[in-house]
Amino acid sequence: MNVNMDTDTRKEGFILEPEALNACVSCGLCLPHCPTYRVTGDERMSPRGRISLMRSIGTTEFNPTEEWINSMDTCVQCRGCETACPSVVPFGELMSDTKRALTNVRKLPLRVRAGLLILNKPRLLAIVTFLIGVLQKIGFLRNSSYIPKGIPLFRRKFNTTHFSSDPVLFTGCVMESWTPWVHEAALKTLSFFHVNVAISGKKVGCCGALHEHSGLSSASLAMAENVIDLMPSSGPVLVNSAGCGAMLKDYGKLLGTEKAKEFSDRVFDVHEWIAMNFELPEKIEKKERIMIQDPCHLRHVQNSHQHVRKLLNNFVEVVELPDEGLCCGAGGAFSVSQKNLATEIRKLKGMAFTEASSEDQKYRVVSANPGCVTHLQVEGFEIKHPLEVVAEYLNQINKADEMSKF
């Protein structure tokens, strides 16, 4: 799918793939799965409405109104509409092309631009991380929906062995600095299955997902090429962030090179790779009930959300939410650029948590994307990455095995 970006986009317009636009038959089956439509009831904030607006301007001079821009900028890009669509409309591609064109007619919010700049500069990210960690320790930033609790002041070092054929855990940018405990849980889980793992580290850095979602394709493609060049040329690439995993799996399509396609074919979500390659421990007596919040890019893009359940089912009783996988509203930078709308969407998820819990107990929640965990942490429930819970139970098994030797 191509956008006509020759010379001045304002004058030339932009052209979306007619077949993709015309695939939408306006049936409306996507509407219940669109978080922005659910909280506003506004047709312009639905996939159907956005496609209608795309059609209205797709072959004319690209001089969109503020209303048109707002409709596109308020899309979370969760792609829940795609899995609900009987016509298989590639809405994600349509929106990506639209976001790319919008960079020529409006600027992203300053706080978003600043955040995207920091992500690809490890030293600057380390300084910002230290400052945020200090502010948290003295009592500020305790209840933020886009900054994790307990950010470490300094980057943690992971103890790993490395052989050329080992899987590589992609550690990314923010996760390595802000939520290293998720990587530690992944390494502990893989260690249980006697897997030697290397880590990508800060040299490889950011995957470019947030830049791509913001329409900054030049930056995201440069980051994609950097990741591919600096990662080993063989062996599985494991990812424990749904957003990063979806991006890495999409490198082949975005770059269009054989090298990129071969790389994307080697990318697996950690839960996916473990479930596919190892016999899981015998099921223990299930005492704890845990709710699962599926990250959109694991459920709707990677279609790997069932592997999380397969892994957890050996240790806990999984509780499904009564919302058919509705987006939580995090959406990468969406919770920063569209804070009010993201808050309203998050409240829907909080209602689903309450409905799924028992009257006398709040169950723990797991979500396989740190951005979702961070966004939801203000809803009053304990929220973990699934691998943190798995690592807890595997540690119990290891201790029991050690005790049985005496």
pLDDT at 161: 57
pLDDT at 3: 39
Q: Where are the alpha helices (DSSP H) in 232-304?
A: 242-249, 251-255, 258-264, 270-277, 296
Tens of pLDDT along 119-173?
A: 988 889 999 999 999 999 888 877 778 888 889 888 777 766 565 668 999 999 9
Neighbours of 301 (CB within 10 A): 22
Q: In this structure, are residues 266 and 235 in contact, taking their beta carbons and an 8 Å threshold?
A: yes
User: Class for domain 9-102, per CATH?
Assistant: mainly alpha
pLDDT at 10: 39
Tens of pLDDT along 296-312?
A: 999 999 999 999 999 99
Could you give the 3-state DSSP secondary structure of residue 289?
Answer: strand
Q: What phi, psi does 91 have (nearest 5°)?
A: -60, -35
State the chain's mean pLDDT as an integer.
90
Q: Which residues contact 310 (CB under 8 A, 6 or more apart)?
A: 271, 275, 280
Strand order in the sheet with 237-239: 198-199, 168-170, 237-239, 267-269
pLDDT at 144: 78
What is the DSSP track for 179-197? -HHHHHHHHHHHHHTT---
For the chain (406 residues), the mean pLDDT of every run of 10, in chain order, is 39 72 95 97 97 80 89 96 96 94 91 92 91 89 81 76 76 92 95 92 91 95 96 94 97 97 97 93 81 97 96 93 95 92 96 90 93 92 96 84 61
Could you give the 3-state DSSP secondary structure of residue 34?
Answer: coil
pLDDT at 195: 92
Structural domain 279-404, CATH architecture: 3-Layer(aba) Sandwich (3.40)
For residue 373, give the H/E element and its range: helix 370-376
Show the tokens assigned to 315: 């240790």
Q: What phi, psi does 328 have (nearest 5°)?
A: -85, -15
170 beta partners: 239
384 beta partners: 366
CA atoms within 13 A of residue 55's CA, in its CB half-sphere = 17
Q: Are strands 383-384 and 168-170 parallel, antiparallel or unpaired?
A: unpaired
**Start-to-end CA span in the chain (Å):** 64
pLDDT at 163: 54
Residue boundaries of the structural domains of the chain: 9-102, 154-275, 279-404
Roughly what angle, to the nearest 10 degrees, separates helices 91-102 and 66-73? 130
pLDDT at 14: 66
Tens of pLDDT along 166-208?
A: 899 999 999 988 999 999 999 999 999 999 999 998 889 999 9
